[in-house]
Chains A and B, each alone.
Chain A
Amino acid sequence: MRLLLILIAGLGVLVASPSSAFAKVNIFACEPEWAALAEEIGGDLVNIKSATNARQNVHHIRAKPSLLAGMRKADLVFCSGASLEIGWLPILIKKAGGPDVQPETIGWLMAADYVEKLDVMTEHVDRSMGHVHPEGNPHIHLDPRNVSIIADVLADRLTMIDRENTKAYQQNLAAFQNHWKSLMVTWEAGGRSLKGQKVVVYHNAWAYLLKWLGMDVIASLEPKPGIPPTASHLETVLKNVQGQKVTAILVAPFENEDAAEWLSGKSGIPVVHTPFTVGGNDKADSLTGLFEETIRLLKGGL
């Protein structure tokens, strides 16, 4: 049975053809929003692999072969952090991540480490509370101020990894920040009418957006974070929303819309399919598009 060994050796030769010299910075982005930001700051100087797309629930991703292949080449791992990727990122790092992308190195950028997190659990935490993140809500990208902070951090990291192109990264950053700040003024003005409005969410993934816009969550369709909606919980939610003016039921592209549709049918509150991240709908094809679309859709429910 030498055949098998020869096959394995042959396979090795086929695939071991050395990759060309280090040229672009390879960025392994866990989520589409970070891939989009890397595109803004890195431009042509980086190769970006987005581990997930907008229609996938990032809590539940398999550590699949293509992700191992992506991690193998990564010079920078760029994720949300705060345990959002706990179910799959540790395996990829251990198995395929090099010494330069380990936790606490320059090649390890967890966005949630750099912003003020919401929903931090300071009291007793246990799993009867559902899929909780004691270190805080990891879905930080829907506050544009956070995106701006992370853009700075990213540019610094890219500069450290690829010093030769320092100038290009700083130029890209300056251009991005200028544009972004003017957009934020526009969005905040446009979103002023949303302040104080109430919404129902599927999962507590909108905390940063709603805080930024001054909106209030009055119920979640999930009985507990990460636990799919149940009939009895939905009845309770229905009782809660009756008699209140609720603008929208927010559902992300990867969330099951059955529960939201049921509640909408009973209560008359519109279901708003917000893009949640870049690629979540056709118009949300960039970070700018994501925020423009989100505000437009929210205002549609007024």
Chain B
Amino acid sequence: MSKKLLLAASVAVIMNASPALAGDADLEALRGEIRAMQQAYESKINQLEQKVETLSAQQNKTAKRVAATEPAAGGSSIPATSERRINDNSFNPEIGVILQGQHQSFSADTSEFAGFAVGEEAERGSEGFGIDETELNFSANVDDLFRGSATVALVEEGGSTEVEIEEVYVETTSLPYGLQAKAGRFFSELGYLNSHHSHADDFADRPLPTRAFLNGNYNDDGVQVSAVLPTDIYSEIGGGVYRGDDFPGGGADGNDIGSWTAYGRVGGDIGDDTSWRLGLSTLQVEGGQRSANEDMVVFDGDSGLYIADARMVYAPTGNNAEQEIIFQGEYFHRDEDGTYDDMDAGTGAVAYDDNQSGWYAQSVYKFHPKWRVGARYSQLYAGDVPAGLAGSALDDSGHNPWGASAMVDWTNSEFSRARVQFNREELSDGNEDDQIILQYIMSLGAHGAHAY
């Protein structure tokens, strides 16, 4: 609870709000201020109405002028109006399809994370051909204030193909003061990768810590608010509250807020060539019951995840179309207090109060408008296990899981990409797994712009 209070206090400080304890005089002053604000807004609205009238009059004027302008040289076969026709379906949502397919081959028969109990999407994909992560997206402006988006994905789970809701949310588009609010099920702002769809990733699979700590993506049901602050360098703060049902949460009864997030980040440019972003974020699950390792391991308790992320993009003169180098890394630290029960190992519920960590670092070099190469290394560190969990999935047997990847991809246009990736992973002691992934990612129809 003290953490919540502290958060509330922080928010109060951040917003430069009036002191929490207000006297009668203060209250009266506040009322006065609100009245003044009301009047100011009313007059502003009047002004705006006036502006709109002037604007439409002026647009008509310009349109007439354009029509009257005669080309000075060369004939013109351009129609007088270049407006697009408005059809009956012009209000239909934009539809986008991401077609993803891959072929994976593995040298090791099994792949288990030493010292970690993980969710289904943390595991390596299925061997052979697959169409994992094919996505279907519908989105549209709801009205002048809201935008809605729904993304469903085909995922391969336990040998069968399932339709999974990736994101279904509404968000505001035009709040003042750099504010934005989002509600529904969505990829929370958390570290770097979490808020991105996998089709935008620079590698065919996610790095080990993102898989182990976030099961690929944290997309819970809840509400998130963010604010881009009016500073010269970019700075943004935000946070959200959630049901707490998605990994690393679970078993939420909905009586209380199951989990919450908070983040802050800064970024900017260094000359024309380089842009950068740094962030800190946290995901706190309170009293969750997380099932992992195909429901054979259950963690019951509080789990706090802390992430530091960094990204830097270098392109000569900032011209990303020709060449660029991207450096990116995230550090994860998880603090857990509760009980672990490994039913496979028959441990029963064993008290656990320890932490785990992990990191990855990657770089991608675009050396030609169509070609990129990349390398990535990731590492996990499991916590010390109490005697009761010796020999269970939580026992890392002195091994820190690691993975190294190299990839080459070819981008024909912004709508198509093909990739070859080689991974070597040693997730448990002595079990080296060489993986080759061939992948294509193509986009049909509407496709929203990608964030930095």
Contacts and interface: CB of A to CB of B under 8 A. Distances in A.
Interface stretch (A36-44, A82-90, A238-246): A82-90
A66 B275 CA distance: 8
Interface string A1-32: 11011111101110110110000000000000
Nearest to A119: B78
A134 B85 CA distance: 11
Interface residues of B, number: 87
Contacts of B236: 68
A211 interface: yes
A122 B264 contact: no
Contacts of A52: 318
A154 to B, nearest CB: 11
Contacts of B268: 65-66, 69
Interface stretch (A92-100, A260-268, A284-292): A92-100
Contacts of B178: 72, 96, 98
A149 B66 contact: yes
Interface stretch (A110-118, A169-177, A294-302): A110-118
B309 to A, nearest CB: 13
A195 B73 contact: yes
A72 B10 contact: no
B263 interface: yes
A193 interface: no
B147 interface: yes
A72 B452 contact: no
B108 interface: no
A65 B235 CA distance: 8
B318 A120 contact: no
Contacts of B144: 102
A160 interface: yes
A61 interface: yes
Nearest to A3: B306
A95 B228 contact: yes
Contact of B277 (A11, A65, A188): A65
A160 B319 contact: no
Contacts of A227: 412-413
A188 B73 CA distance: 10
A62 B319 contact: no
Nearest to B239: A8
A65 B275 contact: yes
A160 B72 contact: no
Nearest to A156: B58
A55 B16 contact: no
Interface centre among A114, A115, A130, A160 (most CB of B within 10 A): A160
Contacts of A106: 51-52, 55
Contacts of B317: 53, 55-56, 254
Nearest to A100: B176
A131 interface: yes
Determine which residue in B267, B276, B280, B321 has the highest number of CB atoms from chain A within 10 A of its CB, and name it.
B321
A15 B62 contact: no
A136 B451 CA distance: 26
A78 to B, nearest CB: 15
A265 B441 CA distance: 37
8 contacts: A12-B237, A15-B233, A57-B322, A66-B267, A68-B228, A87-B450, A114-B66, A127-B415
Interface of B: 3, 6-7, 9-11, 13-16, 51-52, 54-55, 58, 62-63, 65-67, 69, 71-74, 76, 78-80, 82, 84, 144, 147, 171, 173-178, 180, 226, 228-237, 262-264, 266-269, 272, 275-277, 280, 282, 304, 306, 313, 317-322, 333, 335, 369-370, 412-415, 448-452
Closest 3 CB pairs of A and B: A65-B267, A9-B10, A12-B14
Given A9-B10, A102-B173, A116-B66, 6 more contacts: A2-B6, A5-B6, A16-B15, A62-B452, A69-B233, A160-B51
